Structure 1
Amino acid sequence: MKSDRSLHSRVLTSAPVLTTGRLLLRGPQDSDLDALTDMVTQSDRMKHVGGKGTSTEAWRAFISGIGHWQMRDFGFFTITDRNTGETFGRCGLLRHVGWPETELAYHLFDGAEGRGIAYEACVAVRRWAGESLGLGPLASFIAPANARSRALAKRLGAVEEGLHVIDGDQALVHRHLAHDAPLARAQWLEVSQ
């Protein structure tokens, strides 16, 4: 679904810009809606977050993400290639009403997986959350069947704490390293080159 929104790009939040060796993480822009809509309506990866949705649900998720930045001063960053501007997915911090704590959340768009992009983005967001926001070790709430996401959490050094019900769904809580833990610092050095 391509819309006239893709003809221009406006910054929609006060999100900072984070950079790594390969990536630029920025706040959402109106031109990002098309890629999110494609993921929500077409990607098989949606099975881990309730199944495929409609374009209206994608719109609501997009607008909700912008509102999250306004209310919490954090939210999803759009992950892009530093050189080409290609959009790979989203990574950021979420704290929805009723959630037990702030989550380090991530999802890639189809075709972006298998290249270490989510790992690199998560390392950058974890560092920013600790250094700029003063947040302690973050959690990721992962569906038990989402093996790829669980493997990424493990690669990041997260420890599985157990199964909880979050927002009505079962999720394995993975506790991430503090941003200044030795392994976290080493991972930052790795991805910042």
Structure 2
Amino acid sequence: MNIPRLETDRLILRAQSYDDWPAYRDMMRSGRSSGMGGPHEDPFAWGMFCHDLVQWQLFGHGALMMDDKQSGRCVGQVGINGGPSFPEPEFGWFVYEDAEGKGYAFEGATAFREWALGELSLPSLVSYIDDDNLRSRALAERLGARLDDRPKAPDPIDLVYRHK
């Protein structure tokens, strides 16, 4: 699999490893995963974790973990989801609770989106965001995405933000 390694001023975006599973699992068990249909039981969260990795082989895109360069600690994830559950490529992100509010999601999402739009020849990306997830909505707008009421989201309560 050809998984990129990207760098920003503060972050390294890299392929996930099994060492990332405990923090990922804990987040998916928590209320922080409500915007992704959670909280999730471990078997479902494991499927999501594996899906994030195997998409690189199937579609040439998937998820990258975000490491803080200074501490070396993983602070979250950015990714593009595809396959039968997604009508078009879906761009998403999350940060772990102790990393929230530090600009990591914006920095990582900007770098990954630039790579994706440049390397994958995608016409656009969408982000499916729960109406109540004000922080993710604000981030999507800060990234330049706009509400698009034409496409259907996999979950009818989600809003669709289009990245150009």
TM-score by length of 2: 0.92
SS in 1 for 2:13: strand
Instruction: Say if 2:109 is the partner of 1:122.
Output: yes
The percentage of counterpart residues that share the same residue type is: 35
Q: Is residue 142–residue 174 contact of structure 1 (8 Å, CA) maintained in 2?
A: yes
SS in 2 for 1:162: coil
Instruction: Say if 2:157 is the partner of 1:167.
Output: no
Q: Is residue 153–residue 160 contact of structure 2 (8 Å, CA) maintained in 1?
A: no
Structure 2 partner of 1:97: 84
Moved more, 48-57 or 149-158: 48-57
Structure 2 counterpart of 1:21, one-letter code: D
Any residues of structure 2 matched to 1:5-44 within 5 Å, and which? 13-42=1-30, 44=31
Structure 2 counterpart of 1:54, one-letter code: E
State the 1:131 CA deviation. 1.6
**Cα distance 1:14–1:34, how it changes in 2: closer, same or farther (>3 A)?**
farther
Cα distance in 2 between the residues matched to 1:169 and 1:114: 28
**Cα distance 1:136–1:164, how it changes in 2: closer, same or farther (>3 A)?**
closer
Gaps of 5+ in 1: 1-12, 178-193
State the 1:49 CA deviation. 2.1
Aligned alpha-carbon RMSD (Å): 1.6
Structure 2 partner of 1:110: 97
State the 1:98 CA deviation. 4.4
Cα distance in 1 between the residues matched to 2:47 and 2:120: 26
Structure 1 counterpart of 2:120, one-letter code: L
Structure 2 partner of 1:181: none
State the 1:96 CA deviation. 2.7
TM-score by length of 1: 0.79
Structure 1 or 2, whichever has the larger Rg, is 1
SS in 1 for 2:64: strand
